């Protein structure tokens, strides 16, 4: 895999923790140049310092995926700093699950803004770059929740179904641009920390007793990006054994 990732320029959103952070580490360890973005700058600084100390080429940029201008600056910075952009990993996401009857409208809006509009903002920023280059790769973090609806998960599941539809649409419309949907099962991350509905939080905690390490998803992302331009890994579902 290292040969396929070596010198690839990859920008990763939601990289201050969990899957995004571990993916940045994995790609950098295998020779990729990484740009990490998130709102928590202190965590990004710590991550990039560690990567640079290990000899990797890494940079960070403040990023709010719900802000179109912020995402554009993020992608532009990658091109300015590294000379090109080979892949964008739209990883930022939130999961404040709750029953519809709880009427947590602000949380519904937040999921739509981050999980759907954040992905669209990433595509809108990267697509012109990829068109100019004649190639590129969009990797979107989805979820096994895209394939079924669970109680308290109607909005979250809907956002992930939307991610899958958007990714497939891009694949069909831009055949020279590779697209990959990565759908994790239960994985070590801070996603569950966004659940504010007490009863749902208890159910989620019980469901997440044996999560996969985030490295399982990082390796899946690395596998997809490492393929030659002629090979498009369209979709990967990664879940704990037996789940």
Local structure of 76: helix, strand or coil: helix
148 a catalytic residue? no
Q: Which of 60, 147, 148, 156 is catalytic?
A: 156
Phi, psi (5° rounding) for residue 11? -105, 135
Residue with tokens 């599941």: 157
How buried is 170 (Cβ within 10 angstroms: 0-12 exposed, 13-18 middle, 19+ buried)?
middle
* Packed helices 154-173 and 118-133: angle between N→C axes, nearest 10 degrees: 10
Nearest to 87 by CA among 217, 213, 229: 229
- What is each CA distance from 13 to 34, 74, 106, in whole angstroms? 11, 9, 22
- By annotation, the residues acting in catalysis are 156
């Amino acid at each position: 895999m290292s040969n396929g990732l070596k010198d690839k320029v990859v920008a990763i959103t939601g990289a201050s923790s969990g899957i995004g952070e571990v993916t940045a580490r994995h790609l950098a360890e295998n020779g990729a140049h990484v740009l990490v973005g998130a709102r928590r700058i202190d965590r990004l600084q710590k991550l990039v310092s560690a990567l640079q100390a290990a000899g990797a080429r890494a940079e960070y940029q403040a990023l709010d995926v719900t802000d179109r201008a912020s995402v554009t600056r993020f992608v532009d910075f990658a091109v300015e700093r590294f000379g090109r952009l080979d892949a964008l990993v739209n990883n930022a996401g939130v999961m404040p699950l709750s029953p519809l009857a709880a009427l947590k409208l602000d949380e519904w809006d937040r999921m739509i803004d981050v999980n759907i509009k954040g992905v669209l903002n990433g595509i809108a920023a990267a697509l012109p770059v990829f068109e100019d280059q004649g190639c590129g790769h969009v990797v979107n973090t989805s979820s096994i929740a895209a394939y079924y609806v669970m109680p308290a998960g109607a909005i979250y599941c809907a956002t992930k179904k939307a991610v899958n539809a958007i990714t497939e649409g891009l694949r069909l419309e831009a055949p020279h641009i590779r697209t990959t949907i990565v759908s994790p099962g239960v994985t070590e991350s801070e996603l569950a920390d966004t659940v504010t509905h007490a009863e749902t939080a208890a159910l989620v905690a019980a469901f997440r007793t044996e999560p996969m390490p985030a490295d399982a998803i990082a390796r899946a992302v690395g596998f997809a990006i490492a393929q030659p331009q002629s090979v498009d890994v369209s979709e990967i579902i990664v879940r704990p054994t037996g789940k």
